[in-house]
Amino acid sequence: MDRADVVAAAQRAKAAGANRFCMAAAWRSPKDRDLDKICDMIAAVKRVGMETCVTLGMLTPRQAARLADAGLDFYNHNVDTSPEFYRSIITTRTLQDRIDTLTRVREAGVKVCCGGIIGMGEHVDDRLGMLVLLANLPNHPESVPINLWNEVDGVPVKGTAERPDPIALVRLVATARIMMPKSVVRLAAGRQYMTDELQALCFLAGANSIFVGDVLLTTKNPQLDRDASLLARLGITSGLA
C-alpha cells in the first residue's frame, strides 16, 4: 500500500474511535529494504495521533531497533498455540524463532502484542498451555489477542476442527485475565462467528478491547456499525482499538 492510503485508513480509524492502528504484511520476515517504507508509514500514522502497531514476521535485532526509532509502539507476533501443539500446525518457523523475535522487540523498547488462535483442533490443555507460555515470559505482553480460527481455503486445518464451545471461549478469556491482570485482552479474529451475547460475556469475563475494521488481513470482521451498536447497548464508551 502507498503511504497516503495507509494514512487515510488511519484517519478513518481515528474518526471511528480507534486509538491504535495496526499495519500488517504477510512476510515470514521483512527484508531490510522493506523497512524504509514501513518506518515512513509508522511515522506518518504517529502524526495522525494514533498508537502504532505492526506485524511483519520474524525480526533481527537491528530491524527491531529501526522500528523503535521510527516511533513504533507495539509489535504483534503471536505464539499461536501451546508448545506441544505448535508443530502440528506450523512448520515454517519454530516456536523458539517466535520467542526470539519477542525478545528482540522488548530489547528495542517496543511493547508486545502476543496471543494465539483457538479452534485448530487443539485440546483445552493446549489453550491453557498457550496462556501459561505467555504468562511465563519475562514480561507479560501488554496486549493478548485471542483469535478464533477462520476457515481459509487451501490450509490443512480447514474442515478438520470444530469451532470452540462459546462458554469455553468465555472461560479462556477469564483465565487470561486472571493470569495476566495488567494485559489488555483483545477479542481479535473470528468475531463474525460470535453472537452479541457471547461478546458481552467475554467483556464481563475480562476482555477489554476489540479489533475493528472491515477485514483482519484476509479474513472478515464485523462491520463498524454492528460494533458501535453493541458497545452502545452495553454502555461501553471507551475508545475502540
Q: How far is CA 139 from the centre of its chain?
A: 17
Average pLDDT, the chain: 88
Q: How far is CA 92 from the centre of its chain?
A: 20
Q: Which residues have CB under 8 Å from 48's CB, separation 6+? A: 7, 10, 11, 14, 21
Give the chain's domains with CATH numbers: 1-76 (3.40.50.1100), 79-234 (3.20.20.70)
The percent of residues in the chain predicted with pLDDT above 90, rounded, is 65
Say how far apart CA 86 and CA 57 lie, in whole Å. Answer: 16
pTM, rounded to two decimals: 0.88
Say how far apart CA 185 and CA 167 lie, in whole Å. Answer: 17
Q: Give per-residue pLDDT as tens, 71-127.
A: 999 999 999 999 999 998 888 889 999 999 999 999 999 999 999 999 988 999 999
Q: Give per-residue pLDDT as tens, 185-238.
A: 999 888 888 888 999 999 999 999 888 766 555 555 556 677 778 888 888 876
* 240 pLDDT more than 50: no
Of 148, 127, 134, 129, which is closest to residue 199 (Cα–Cα)?
148
